[in-house]
Amino acid sequence: MKILVLPGDGIGKEVTASAIEVLKTLVPDLELDYGLIGGSAYDETGSPLPKETIEKIKKSDAVLLGAVGGNKWDKLDHTLRPEAGLLGLRSHMQVFANLRPVKIFKSLIGSSTLKEDVIEGVDLMIVRELTGGLYFGKPKGIETKGAIKRGFNTLEYTTPEIERVAKIAFDLAQKRNKKLCSVDKANVLESSRLWRETVEEVAKAYPDVELSHMYVDNCAMQLIRNPKQFDVILTENMFGDILSDEASMITGSLGMLPSGSLGEGKGLYEPVHGSAPDIAGTGKANPIGAILSAAMMLKYSFNKADEAARIEQAVDKVLSRGIRTPDMTAGAKEVVGTEAMTKHIIDEVKKK
Ligand code: NAD
């Protein structure tokens, strides 16, 4: 099992170190390699995604990423900014399906801004298309005509792009509660009309999965009104970007949330949060999002669902004892830093 670790910037370095410590406890044959990405890669090599990193991906089975970005690099040309490294990585690895589980840990119910009866038992999975749509469509740019500037992007999807991500979502729904809600804006957008038609076609191969469609504006509302109605949500890139951040708040803290991105080749796993420059280096970062991302890696890239479940249960146990990092202090009995939280989780994993 060869993993390429890309710690990135800010707390990315701290939380990936935690995730690797937890993995080492469970996987004896773990082989690790490390590479550069983001602002730290730019500082060392002049590129946010150096060639050496691309080479290292070829030799690995899966990639674990921390986070990229920071004020220091905000003024660079957009092609050199840390985020360009991240988009380049996703595009290079052709990880077109981003999986974001939103599951509420019982002990964290008090940390959410939503009412307990609304969120208790929420367990949904957002599948976001990751390598197409508005973020990648061409033409794009800002042009100047006389005194007027025009900014433009292109929103387009092809049937193969929709089919491949839909299949991943249907496969997941089949293993879960067999419900899939496809989210679009088919009342206004042509790309959404094709999205809906294509998802309907893919659904024919999954008669046991109940398919529904929802407009994105309604979905934004339903996620807050009654998130328990959802099992798997499938949507395009930009809608998924927005809806998954909204859904993340159901669970209380951004620092808790993992993600995995799948394609036809290797998987890319990363916590949902950014590099948190405001707390980087203070030892306060919540490592759970990264640790749960490592658990997703075990499950989806290495078929080790039991080991993944052990990590999830260990996190649950530690949280139920009232141990918390400073980003989620509601109901805390003991507030600890990154290292101590990691150690508590490792101790629980070892107990099983
Ligand atoms: P952020 O996620 O880094 O931080 C938002 C807030 O949440 C901050 O107050 C931060 O302290 C807190 N937070 C985030 N993760 C935490 C954790 N694990 N534990 C405790 N607290 C945590 O988002 P931002 O502040 O908007 O962005 C900071 C930088 O990160 C920017 O450069 C941005 O572009 C980048 N970013 C990168 C990614 C990524 O690499 N995938 C994602 C989002 C933002």
* Residue 310 CB-density burial (10 A; 0-12 exposed, 13-18 middle, 19+ buried): buried
Residue 112 has pLDDT above 90, yes or no: no
- Nearest atom in ligand 1 to the alpha carbon of residue 277 is 28
Instruction: Kindly report the protein residue whose alpha carbon is nearest to atom 34 of ligand 1.
Output: 69
φ and ψ at residue 275, rounded to 5 degrees: -85, 0
Residue 26 has pLDDT above 90, yes or no: yes
Domain regions of the chain by residue span = 1-96+263-352, 103-250
Q: What angle do CA 107, 109, 110 make, to 5 degrees?
A: 100
Indicate the class that CATH gives domain 103-250. Answer: alpha beta
Say which amino acid occupies 11.
I
CB contact set of 94 (below 8 Å; sequence gap of 6+): 131, 263, 264, 265
Of the ranges 81-95, 102-116, 199-213, 322-336, which one carries the lowest mean pLDDT score? Answer: 102-116
Q: How far apart are CA 243 and CA 262, in angstroms?
A: 19
Q: How confident is the model at residue 330 (pLDDT cuts 50, 70, 90)?
A: confident
- Nearest atom in ligand 1 to the alpha carbon of residue 73 is 32
Say which amino acid occupies 234.
L
103-250: same fold as 1-96+263-352? yes
Residue 352 has pLDDT above 70, yes or no: no
Average pLDDT for the chain: 95
Residues with CB under 6 A from ligand 1: 11, 15, 67-70, 83, 86, 254-255, 270, 273-279, 285-286, 289, 327
pLDDT in tens, 149-169: 999 999 999 999 999 999 999
pLDDT in tens, 47-90: 999 999 999 999 999 999 999 999 999 999 999 999 999 989 99
- Nearest atom in ligand 1 to the alpha carbon of residue 290 is 18
Pocket mutation for ligand 1, best pick of 73, 81, 273 (most atoms within 8 Å of C-beta): 273
Say which amino acid occupies 316.
D
Instruction: Map tokens 């937890």 to a residue.
Output: 22
Pocket mutation for ligand 1, best pick of 111, 254, 339 (most atoms within 8 Å of C-beta): 254
Residue numbers annotated as active site:
135, 185, 217, 241, 245
Query: What CATH code would you report for 1-96+263-352?
Result: 3.40.718.10
Instruction: Map tokens 């803290």 to a residue.
Output: 253
Tell me if the pTM is above 0.95.
no
